[in-house]
A and B are shown apart, each in its own frame.
Chain A
C-alpha cells in the first residue's frame, strides 16, 4: 500500500510538501541502507551513519519546504551526494583524510546546498547552546511561546505566574538573556 503510494520521486516530494509524515517515513526507510552501507564501508560506525543520513534527509526536507529544490537527478542520488559530502567533511574534521572513497552510487557535487546546511547547523548549534545556558524555566517558557506557539494565558497557568503580565515580563527577561548569549556567539556570515 505504502509502496504504491510513493513509488515515484515526485510522489514523495508531493507527500512531503503536504506534510505527510508517511512520505517522509517511506523516504527515510527507503534510502537508509544505501547510506548506512556507504558510511560503514568508509570507516564509519552505525551511529555516524544514522547521523549523517539524518542530516542528509534534513537538507533534502528543508529544501522541499523552502521550495528551493531543483532536483536534477533522482532523490537517491541527491541524498547520496549530500551524505557523501557531509561524511567527507566529517572525516576531515576527525583528522582522517579519506584518500579513497568507495562509491557504490553515482553522485553529484552539491557544494551550495551543503554549505547552506552547514551555516544553518552552526546557527542551530549556537541557539541550542544559548537555550541551554539560560536554563529553566526560561528555556521552556521561550520554547512554549515561540516554538510551540502557545498563548500567554496557557503559559501563565502552566508556570504558575500570578497574571499574564508577570509572565510577559519574565518572558522578556529571558528573551533578553537569550539574545545576548545568541549574538555573542553568532555572527551571521553576510
Chain B
C-alpha cells in the first residue's frame, strides 16, 4: 500500500498537480533520498516512453489507414504517369555515362567517316574528271644546268649572260597577215614578256592586245618593227559548227619541234557539256594549247584548249565561232583597225603532207617569260 501511495505522489509531482508547499517538500525529499530520485526519474522515463509509444501507435494506425485509402483510390492511370517518369529518371541516371560515351563514339565515327570519305574522294575526283590546260612548263632545271655549263665553258668574258629560259610554252597561229596571232589565254598567265617562234626560225616579240577570259582566247600582236607581214594565210575560218565524226588535225609544240596530231571530232560539246567547245580524239600534250584545229578541207574550226585527265582521248577545242565573235568585237574593245581575215583557202584538195607544209609557217610556239612563280 505504501508503494502505491508513493506512485500516486510521484505521478502527481510529474504532472505538476502538487501544490506549491507539497512540491517543495517533495523536492526536498528528492534531494536527500537518492533512491526516491532514481525512482522518480525511472517513472518519468517509463511514462514518457509509454506516451510516446501510444502516440506512435496512433500515428502508425493513421498512416496505415491513409495507405489503405491511397491504395484504394490509386487507379492505374494515376500511377502510370509518375511511375514512367521515375523509370526514365533512374534509367537516365544509371546509363548516362554509357550513353554519353556511345554518343561521342558515334559522333566521332560519323564525322571521321565523313572526313575520310572526303579525303579519299578528293584524289579520285581529280582522276576522273579533271580538266587540264595544256600549257607546257619548260624543263627549267635542265636548261638552267645547260646555261651554267655554258657559262663555265665560255672562256670569253665578253660573252653575254645566257638568256633567261622561257618558263612556259604553248602554241599559237596567225589569224591575219598583218601580224595578229591567237592563242589560249591560260598560256599567257603571269607573263612578263612573250615571244613567238616558228619552224623556219622567225622569232618575234609579241604583246597581248585582247583577252577573252570566258572562252580562254587571247590575241597577240607582233610588235617588232622588222616584221613585214606573213603573206597570204592558206586557211580560212569556219563560221558554222563542224559535224560530228569529221576528221580533224592539229599542229602544235608539245616539245621543241612541231608535232602533228590527227583524230576525229568526237563530240560537239566539251568538258561537262560545255557547248562552246568540241571534244576531239587527238592525243594531246602540254604545249598543245592554243594550236589550230583544222578539218580535212583546211578550214580552221577550233583552238585547242585542254584535255580531261583520267579519260582516254578526250581533248577539247574552243569552237572557231567564238574566235570570230571575238575578232568582230575586237576593234571596239581594243581600238584597233578591223582585222582582215583570210578569204581564200589554199589547202582544199591538197594531200595532208602538202597541207602541213603550207601550214607550218603559220603555227608558232608561244614562249612565256616570267619571273614570278606561277
User: Residues of A with Cβ closer than 8 Å to B?
Assistant: 21, 24-25, 28-29, 32-34, 37, 41, 50, 54, 57-58, 61, 102-105, 120, 123-124, 126-128, 131, 142-143, 146-148, 168-169, 172, 175-176, 178-179, 182-183, 186, 188
Once the chains are docked, how many angstroms separate the CA of A61 from the CA of B60? 11
A-B interface, 7 closest residue pairs, ranked by CB to CB distance from nearest: A147-B54, A104-B89, A172-B4, A37-B86, A127-B53, A28-B66, A54-B63
Q: Could you tell me if B49 and A28 are in contact, using CB atoms closer than 8 angstroms? A: no
Across the interface, name the chain B residue whose C-beta is closest to A143: B54
Confirm or deny: B21 has a beta carbon within 8 angstroms of a beta carbon on chain A.
no
Q: Could you tell me if A147 and B90 are in contact, using CB atoms closer than 8 angstroms? A: no
B56-70: CB near A (< 8 Å → 1, else 0) gives 110110111011011
Confirm or deny: B3 has a beta carbon within 8 angstroms of a beta carbon on chain A.
yes
Q: Could you tell me if A33 and B54 are in contact, using CB atoms closer than 8 angstroms? A: no
Confirm or deny: B8 has a beta carbon within 8 angstroms of a beta carbon on chain A.
yes
Once the chains are docked, how many angstroms separate the CA of A146 from the CA of B7? 13
Determine how close the nearest CB of chain B comes to the CB of A92; give it in whole angstroms: 21
Which interface class (under 10, 10 to 19, 20 to 34, 35 or more) fits B?
35 or more
Across the interface, name the chain B residue whose C-beta is closest to A123: B49
Determine how close the nearest CB of chain A comes to the CB of B99; give it in whole angstroms: 15
Q: Could you tell me if B62 and A24 are in contact, using CB atoms closer than 8 angstroms? A: yes
- Can you offer 16 A-B residue contacts whose CB atoms are under 8 A? A32-B70, A33-B79, A41-B90, A50-B67, A54-B63, A57-B63, A102-B94, A103-B90, A103-B93, A104-B89, A123-B52, A123-B53, A172-B3, A172-B4, A178-B50, A186-B49
Known: A58-B63, A168-B8, A172-B3. A147 touches B86 (CB 8 A): no
Please give, as numbers and ranges, the residues of chain B lying within 8 Å of A146 by CB-CB distance.
Answer: 47, 50-51, 54
Extra pairs beyond A124-B56, A147-B54 (8, CB < 8 Å): A28-B67, A33-B82, A37-B90, A41-B90, A104-B93, A120-B56, A178-B50, A183-B46
Q: Which of B207-259 contact A (CB under 8 A)?
A: none
Please give, as numbers and ranges, the residues of chain B lying within 8 Å of A104 by CB-CB distance.
Answer: 86, 89-90, 93
Please give, as numbers and ranges, the residues of chain A lying within 8 Å of B50 by CB-CB distance.
Answer: 127, 142, 146-147, 178
Once the chains are docked, how many angstroms separate the CA of A82 from the CA of B131? 77
Please give, as numbers and ranges, the residues of chain A lying within 8 Å of B3 by CB-CB distance.
Answer: 172, 176
Once the chains are docked, how many angstroms separate the CA of A34 from the CA of B43? 42
Known: A58-B59, A123-B52, A146-B47. A179 touches B89 (CB 8 A): no
Q: Which of B45, B51, B59, B94 contacts A61 (CB 8 A)?
A: B59
Q: Which of B53, B66, B69, B70 contacts A147 (CB 8 A)?
A: B53
